[in-house]
């Protein structure tokens, strides 16, 4: 008598998903229709990456691997899998509605990552983090931190001057920043009288001023590394009117080493947060401001727009024409950022800045 049990088809292709954490990665494998074949946890190191890939391949040919957090805890795993020529997708976290109904755990998140990668929903191509753009990103992190700390030190110096004794406040008040820092760094208070508020204020001012000088020297050292690196990656970008090493470096980091992952100039504009978002309903047809995307890239485009409004005749003519149309300065700058993103996308994608080419 023939069996009435249906034949289980042989699994040829599977999809993987990984929920990444600092010490461990939880992986899941599903078949081509989304059935869960298994979940497992692996250590977040090179041996764990190899074991994870071997485990996934034991279920069949791995079609795609969805990884959550390729720019953070999943960066090492993404580098390893890319070297193994695996097809990778960066997946977003599950939306709140899905988590509310399905719960939250590492295996559940890994399964959701695999399903998202298989369906191609809420996914993107991960940035490559093994080239010169990644080196540029690391140097820019150090520079931005130094700039922020230098600004904090300067604000603290001025706040101390406000409450300083009258004679010290009179001496330091209203001085240019460069001269103020030099005078405060050269103060010679007596540490033996640190219990006196005036002496303590001078000690604090000297400490903050010297910190300011050290941070300024650190920023200069980093700038000497950043400018030639940006020029080596994409010299055409520095030649564009209104761009300097700082803004050009930020846009290169935003685009990534594998800039071919940007499918269009509209995608780049959305990545930079300058693409208007449709907000129409019924008889109302309008767009709203995009508050998403890379806000550092958005700020870089804003600075470029300001420079061009000051020095570029074409931009100034555009400003006058749109002002006559009734647009405010803020609205005109938003339009300019969108146009600048379109122009810079062409410059970035025309230049293949991979090493060795």
> Looking at residue 98, what is its pLDDT?
66
For residue 353, pLDDT over 60 is answered with no
When the pLDDT of each residue in the chain is averaged and rounded to a whole number, the result is: 90
Mean pLDDT for the stretch of residues 335-354: 86
Distance CA 322, CA 320 (A): 6
pLDDT at residue 271, as a whole number: 92
Read off the pLDDT of residues 13-48 as tens digits, 9 standing for 90 and up: 899 999 999 999 999 999 998 999 999 999 999 999
Q: Is residue 136 packed enough to be buried (19+ CB in 10 Å), middle (13-18) or exposed (0-12)?
A: buried
The predicted structure's pLDDT at residue 2: 52
Residue range 182-233, pLDDT digits in tens: 999 999 999 998 999 999 999 999 999 999 999 999 999 999 999 999 999 9
pLDDT score for 129: 86
pLDDT for 357 beyond 50: no
Q: In the structure, what pLDDT confidence band is assigned to residue 122 with cuts at 50, 70 and 90?
A: confident
Residue 78 pLDDT more than 60? yes
**pLDDT of 244:** 92
Q: With helix as H, strand as E and coil as C, how does the chain read?
A: CCCCCCCCCCCCEEEEEEEECCCEEEEEEECCCCCEEEEEEEECCHHHHHHHHHHHHCCCEEEEEEEECCCCCCHHHHHHHHHCCCCEEEECCCCHHHHHHHCCCHHHHHHHHHHHHHHCCCEECCCCCCCHHHHHHHHHHHHHHHHHHHHHHHHHHHHHHHCCCHHHHHHHCCCCHHHHHHHHHCCCCCHHHCCCHHHHHHHHHHHHHHHHHHHHHHHHHHHHHHHHHHHHHCHHHHCCCCCCHHHHHHHHHHHCCCHHHCCCHHHHHHHCCCCCEECCECCECCEECCCCCCHHHHHHHHHHHHHHHHHCHHHHHHHHHHHHCCCCHHHHHHHHHHHHHHHHHHHHHHCCCCCCC
The per-residue pLDDT for range 250-264, each reduced to its tens digit, is 999 999 998 888 889
Summarised one tens digit per residue, pLDDT across range 135-154 is 999 999 999 999 999 999 99
Residue 6 confidence (pLDDT): 47
Using the predicted structure, report yes or no on whether residue 314 has a pLDDT greater than 90: yes
Cβ contact 36:30 at 8 Å: yes
What does the pLDDT look like over 79-101, one tens digit per residue? Answer: 999 999 999 999 987 767 666 77
Q: Is the pLDDT score of 176 beyond 90?
A: yes
Q: How high is the pLDDT of residue 355?
A: 47
What is the percentage of the chain residues whose pLDDT exceeds 70? 94
281 has pLDDT over 70: yes
User: Which of residues 118 and 121 earns the better pLDDT score?
Assistant: 118
pTM of the model: 0.84
Q: Categorize the per-residue pLDDT at 155 as very low, low, confident or very high, splitting at 50, 70 and 90.
A: very high
Task: Identify the band that residue 11 occupies on the pLDDT scale cut at 50, 70 and 90.
Answer: low
pLDDT at 339 over 90: yes
pLDDT at 286: 80
pLDDT above 90 covers what percent of the chain? 73
Q: What is the pLDDT of residue 263?
A: 87
Query: How sure is the predictor about 352, in pLDDT bands with cuts at 50, 70 and 90?
Result: low
The mean pLDDT of 290-301, rounded to a whole number, is 92
């Amino acid at each position: 008598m023939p069996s009435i049990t249906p034949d289980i088809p042989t699994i040829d292709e599977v999809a993987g998903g990984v929920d990444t954490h600092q010490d461990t990665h939880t992986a899941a494998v599903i078949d081509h229709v989304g059935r869960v074949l298994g979940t497992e946890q692996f250590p977040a190191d090179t041996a764990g990456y190899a074991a994870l890939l071997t485990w996934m391949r034991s279920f069949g040919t791995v079609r795609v691997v969805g990884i959550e957090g390729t720019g953070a805890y999943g960066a090492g795993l993404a580098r390893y899998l890319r070297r193994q020529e695996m097809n990778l997708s960066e997946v977003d976290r599950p939306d709140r509605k899905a988590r509310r109904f399905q719960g939250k755990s590492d295996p559940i998140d890994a399964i959701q990552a695999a399903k998202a990668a298989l369906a191609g929903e809420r996914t993107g191509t991960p940035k490559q983090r093994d080239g010169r753009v990644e080196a540029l990103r690391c140097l820019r992190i150090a520079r931005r931190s130094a700039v922020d700390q230098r600004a904090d030190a300067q604000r603290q110096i001025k706040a101390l001057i406000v409450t300083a004794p009258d004679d010290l406040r009179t001496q330091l008040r209203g001085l240019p920043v460069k001269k103020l820092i030099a005078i405060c760094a050269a103060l010679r208070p007596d540490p033996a009288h640190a219990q006196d508020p005036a002496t303590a204020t001078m000690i604090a001012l000297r400490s903050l001023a010297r910190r300011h000088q050290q941070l300024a020297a650190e920023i200069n050292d980093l700038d000497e590394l950043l400018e030639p690196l940006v020029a080596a990656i994409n010299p055409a970008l520095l030649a564009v009117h209104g761009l300097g090493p700082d803004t050009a470096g930020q846009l290169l980091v935003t685009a990534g080493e594998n800039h071919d992952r940007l499918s269009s100039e509209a995608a780049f504009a959305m990545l930079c947060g300058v693409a208007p978002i449709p907000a129409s309903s019924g008889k109302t047809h309008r767009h709203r401001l995009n508050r998403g995307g890379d806000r550092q890239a958005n700020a870089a485009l804003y600075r470029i727009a300001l420079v061009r409004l000051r020095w570029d005749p074409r931009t100034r003519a555009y400003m006058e024409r749109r002002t006559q149309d009734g647009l405010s300065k803020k609205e005109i700058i938003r339009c300019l950022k969108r146009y600048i993103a379109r122009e810079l996308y062409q410059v970035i994608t025309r230049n293949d800045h991979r090493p060795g080419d």
